[in-house]
Structure 1
Amino acid sequence: MHIPFFPHRARRGIAAALGSAALACTVPAHAAVVGNGTLGSCTEAALDSALSGGGIVTFDCGEPATTIVLSGPKVLTAATTIDGGGKITLTAGGAFRLFQLNNAAYTFTGLSLTNGQAVGVLAPEDKYGGAIYASGSTLLLDKVTLTGNVAEISGGAIFASSSANVTLSEVTATGNRAGVGGVIGTGTGVTLLVSELVAQGNHGTDGGGAIWHRGVALTVQLSLFTGNTVDDTYGSGGAIFVTSTATTTLAIANSTFQGNGRTAGGAPTFASALGVANVPSGTVTNSTFVDNVAAIFSGVGSTLTLKNTIVSSSTAAANCVTDSGGAIADGGNNLQYGGTAAQSCGASIPDQNPQLAALANNGGFSQTMALLAGSPAIDAGSGCPATDQRGVARPIGPACDIGAFEAPLPVVVPPGPGGQAAAIPALDGIGLALLSALVAGMGLLRRRKQSAE
C-alpha cells in the first residue's frame, strides 16, 4: 500500500478528516519517464506514450521549468500518477479540457495546469471542468497550480461527478472561472477535502467564486480565500457555496476569508463569502472572515454553527444573513464587528473590534491576518484545533486564540537602569512576519518531536 506525501500538518489534518484508509491506494505497477534529459525530448507525443499504460509518470526534461502544449484532451481510464517535480506546466492554450478521468485513482503532483477550457459548441457534459473532469474517480491534487481555466457551466478548473472522492493539498488556484464553482464544482455524491488551498481572484458567475459543492461532504482546512467573486448577488458564495438535495455535511476550520464578494457594479444586495442552502449541520471553527461584501449566508434548511470564529467588517451588508428558515448558531467564543447591522451573527456573540493586521506572509502555506497586541481574540478561545492555519501549535499562552491565527507571546523586557521601562521598537509588517515564521518553525519542530516520541 502507498500513502501519498503530504506536509506533516496536512497529513494529520487529512487523516483526521477522512481516516487513513481514504489515503491509501495501490501503487500503479507501470512506470514511465517523459523525456531523456533534454528540453526537446519532452513532447506531447512522449507524454501520450507515458500515459498509455497508466502507472507512475515522471519527467526528465533537463530544464528548470518546462511547458508542454497539448493538442487535445487526455482521456485516462487506468490508475495514474503524474509527477511533474514542480517543474512541469501542461497547457491547453484555451482550446479544450486537459484531462478526462474515468473510474480509477489519479494523482497529480508538482504540476501547473493552465488555460484549459470547457466552453462553446459542445455537448452539455463537455461544459464542465476546464482542466479536469473526474467521473467516479479518486483524485488527489498535491502541490498543483491551477491558472486561467474556464468552464461554461461548472468547475472552472475541476469538476467531479458520480460519487468521486477529491482531495486538494497545497493547491494554488488563480484566475479560474465558470458558471458556478470558479475553481471546483461537484455533482451529487461527491466527497471533497480541501487542505492548504489558496484561492485568489477566481469567479463563478452564478455562485461559488471558488467552490460550488453539491456532494455529500465538504471539509475545508488551513486555506485562504481572497478576492473571489460572483455576479449573482444574493447569498451565493463569493468564495464557497454549498447546496444539496441530499444530506450534506460541511466543516470549515483554520481558514481565512478576505475580500470575497460580488463583481463591481453588481446589484445592491450582497454576495456572502460563504453561502449554504439545504445543509442541515455545518460547522465553522477557528476561522476569520474580514472585509467581504458579506460574510456568511444561511438559507433554507441550513444551520451553521460558529465556534472560535471572527466575523468582521463586511463592506456592503450585515456580517451574517439568514433566509427561509436558515440559522446561524453560536457555538461559543466568537467575535463579530462592523457590517451594516449590529450583532447580525447573534446577540450572544460579543461585538468587539478583533484588531487584525493586514493579510501578510506570517509563515505557513498561505497568508494570514495576525492578531495585534491587545486583540480581544487572544487567549479567548477553547477547544481549538491542535494548530492554526499556518501549522503553529495551539495554544500559545493560557488558552488558544479566536480565529485562524495563533498570536505569539508578547515580548517581556526587564526595566532599564533606574527602574525605567526599556524602550522597545515596534514591529513593522516585516518584523511581525519574521517573528511569526520563527514561531511557525518552532511549532513544526515541536510537532515532529512529539510524533517521534
Structure 2
Amino acid sequence: MRLKSALPLLALALATATLPACGGGTDPADPPAPVAATGTPSAPAVDAPATSPSARAGLGSARPSPSAAKATLLRAGNPDGKATVPAEARAVDTSHPTRTVGTGTPASCTSAAVVKAVAAGGIITFDCGPAPVTITMTATAKVVNAHGPRIVLDGGGKVTLSGGGSRRILYMNTCDQAQGWTTSHCQNQEFPQLTVQNLTFTGGNSTGEKTEGGGGGAIFVRGGRVKVVNSRFVDNRCDRTGPDLGGAALRVLSQFDNKPVYVVGSTFTGGVCANGAALSSIGVSWTVLNSVFRDNRAVGTGANPARGGTPGGGSGGAIYCDGNEFTVKLAGTVVENNSANEGGGAVFFVSNNRTGTMSITSSTLRRNPSKGFETKGFPGIFFLGARPPSVSSSHLS
C-alpha cells in the first residue's frame, strides 16, 4: 500500500516462491450485513471478569484514577494474565476531565456530543446515567490534530460506542489536511496522543473507506500515539478483500519514533476483514498484554500480492503486521479460534527487510487455523523476520 506524505513502504519479496509475498493495493469489497445497534441503554455480553489495570495520569505519572477503579461493569481482557504493565501503558487518570459527554441521562449522550468532544480534545468522560448505555454514532468522531495534545475517552465501564454496522467510529490522522497539519513531518510526530479506556466498540464498519489504504473498522489511527486499555471490540468490520488493508477493530500506521501501540487488558471478538480481523498495521510495533482475541476471521483470498485472478487478502486472523523494522510482543494473552483463509490464523508477521522481531510470553495460542500457509513449528503463525519468534512459558497448538 502507499501512505500519503510519508516515505514509500518497501514491497515485500519472499525468497520462497511457494509462499505469497506482501505488497500491493486494495480492491473494493461487498459490504457485510449491518450489525444491529440498540438505541436504548444496553450492555454487551461480558467475558470472564478481569482486574482493570492500575491507572496513571497522562502517559506515565503516578496519580490513581477513581474513575478507573469504579469501572466494574466492563469486563475485558484475560483475567489470568499476569504480564507486568509498564507505567506508560496503564489507564489515564480521568478524575478531573476536561469535558463530559452527557448531563446524566441516556438521551443526553448523543453521537453529536461525542463528535464535538473528540474534536475539542482533552480528557473526555461520560455522564449518561447509572445504567450501561449504547451510543449509536451517526458520524465518525475525528480528532483535530491541533487539539489535545492528549485525547482520552473513558467510558467508565458503562458506555458502548456503536457504528451501527455502517460507519467507522473513531479516526485520528496527523497527515490528513482536513484535520490540520501541525508539523512538517506528519508521519513522525509525538502528538496528538489518543487513549481509549473502559469502553466497548461495536458495529464499526470502514468498508469503502480508502484513505491511507483503508481498514480500521472501529478505530483508524495514523501518527502520534495510541493505546487501548480495558476495552472491548465486538463484531467490527472492514473491507472483505484487498491484499494489505485490515484491522476490523484497529488499524494503525506511522507511530511516533516507532514506539509501540499498547493494548492492555482488552478483548477482541467477532471481527471480520480482508486481513487482520482485530489488529492491523504497517511498520508499527505492538505490545499486547493480558488480552483476548477470539473468533476473528481474515476472509480475503489470494494473499499479498494477490494471486492472479484473486482480489487478495486473507492473512492474520487476529493480527496482521507488515513493514520493515518493528516488534510484536504478546504477554499474558489468549489468542483462540481465529482463522485466516491464507496465512497466519492467529498472527501474520512479515518484516520486509528481515529486521523485525516477535516474542510470546505466558500466552496461549490455540485453534487458529491457517487455511493456506504458516511457519513450521509455530501453529497459527506466519512469520518472516530477523529470527524465529521467541516463545517462553506459552502454549501454541
Cα distance in structure 1, aligned partners of 2:81 and 2:334: 14
The corresponding residue for 2:381 is 274
TM-score by length of 1: 0.56
Residue 222 of structure 1 aligns to which amino acid in structure 2? G
The corresponding residue for 2:328 is 218
Cα distance in structure 2, aligned partners of 1:279 and 1:146: 31
Cα distance in structure 1, aligned partners of 2:112 and 2:88: 36
Choose the corresponding residue for 1:257, options 332, 354, 365.
365
Q: Secondary structure at the match of 2:317?
A: coil
Choose the corresponding residue for 1:184, options 273, 279, 283.
279
Is 1:127 the counterpart of 2:222? The answer is no
1:25 to 1:43, Cα distance in 2 relative to 1, 3 A:
closer
Task: Tell me how far 1:51 sits from its aligned partner.
Answer: 2.3
Higher relative contact order (CA 8 A, sep 6+): 2
Is 1:200 the counterpart of 2:294? The answer is yes
1:29-62: CA deviation from partner (whole Å, max 9, x where unpaired): 9711111111111112222332232111111111
1:151-189: CA deviation from partner (whole Å, max 9, x where unpaired): 22211111111135311111111100211111001111x
Cα distance in structure 2, aligned partners of 1:10 and 1:166: 18
The corresponding residue for 1:155 is 247
- Bigger fraction of residues in helix: 1
Cα distance in structure 1, aligned partners of 2:167 and 2:272: 14
Answer yes or no: is the 8 Å Cα contact 2:222–2:254 preserved in 1.
Answer: yes
1:235-285: CA deviation from partner (whole Å, max 9, x where unpaired): x2111111111311111100011211046xx79x99941220134353011
Cα distance in structure 1, aligned partners of 2:265 and 2:91: 19
1:124 to 1:105, Cα distance in 2 relative to 1, 3 A:
closer
Choose the corresponding residue for 2:116, options 45, 49, 58.
49
1:21 to 1:210, Cα distance in 2 relative to 1, 3 A:
closer
Answer yes or no: is the 8 Å Cα contact 2:92–2:152 preserved in 1.
Answer: no
In the TM superposition, 1:81-120 aligns within 5 A as 81-103=152-174, 104-120=192-208
Q: Give unmatched runs, 5+ long, in structure 2.
A: 1-56, 70-78, 175-191, 240-244, 300-313
Cα distance in structure 1, aligned partners of 2:366 and 2:388: 24
Which structure has the larger Rg over C-alpha atoms? 1
- Bigger fraction of residues in strand: 1
Cα distance in structure 2, aligned partners of 1:187 and 1:223: 22
1:306-325: CA deviation from partner (whole Å, max 9, x where unpaired): xxxxxxxxxxxxxxxxxxxx
Q: Give unmatched runs, 5+ long, in structure 1.
A: 291-453
Q: Identity percentage over the alignment? A: 28
1:109-151: CA deviation from partner (whole Å, max 9, x where unpaired): 111101111113x435362111111101211111110011112
Cα distance in structure 2, aligned partners of 1:256 and 1:12: 13
Runs of 4+, deviation exceeding 3 Å? 4-12, 20-30, 269-272
Task: Tell me how far 1:27 sits from its aligned partner.
Answer: 8.9
Q: Secondary structure at the match of 2:266?
A: strand
Cα distance in structure 2, aligned partners of 1:102 and 1:9: 35
Answer yes or no: is the 8 Å Cα contact 1:118–1:151 preserved in 2.
Answer: yes
Cα distance in structure 1, aligned partners of 2:227 and 2:95: 14
Cα distance in structure 2, aligned partners of 1:224 and 1:26: 27
CA RMSD across the alignment? 3.1
Choose the corresponding residue for 1:69, options 136, 139, 148.
136
In the TM superposition, 1:355-370 aligns within 5 A as none
Answer yes or no: is the 8 Å Cα contact 2:270–2:297 preserved in 1.
Answer: yes
Cα distance in structure 2, aligned partners of 1:203 and 1:219: 21
1:1-54: CA deviation from partner (whole Å, max 9, x where unpaired): 633879999797233xxxx56779999997111111111111122223322321
In the TM superposition, 1:373-412 aligns within 5 A as none
Residue 153 of structure 2 aligns to which amino acid in structure 1? I
Answer yes or no: is the 8 Å Cα contact 2:165–2:204 preserved in 1.
Answer: yes
Residue 253 of structure 1 aligns to which amino acid in structure 2? T
1:35 to 1:22, Cα distance in 2 relative to 1, 3 A:
closer
1:333-365: CA deviation from partner (whole Å, max 9, x where unpaired): xxxxxxxxxxxxxxxxxxxxxxxxxxxxxxxxx
Cα distance in structure 2, aligned partners of 1:229 and 1:56: 37
Choose the corresponding residue for 2:224, options 128, 131, 137.
137
TM-score by length of 2: 0.64
Cα distance in structure 2, aligned partners of 1:252 and 1:70: 36
1:293-318: CA deviation from partner (whole Å, max 9, x where unpaired): xxxxxxxxxxxxxxxxxxxxxxxxxx
1:40 to 1:27, Cα distance in 2 relative to 1, 3 A:
closer
Cα distance in structure 2, aligned partners of 1:70 and 1:25: 24
1:258 to 1:12, Cα distance in 2 relative to 1, 3 A:
closer
In the TM superposition, 1:161-180 aligns within 5 A as 161-163=253-255, 165-180=260-275
In the TM superposition, 1:372-451 aligns within 5 A as none
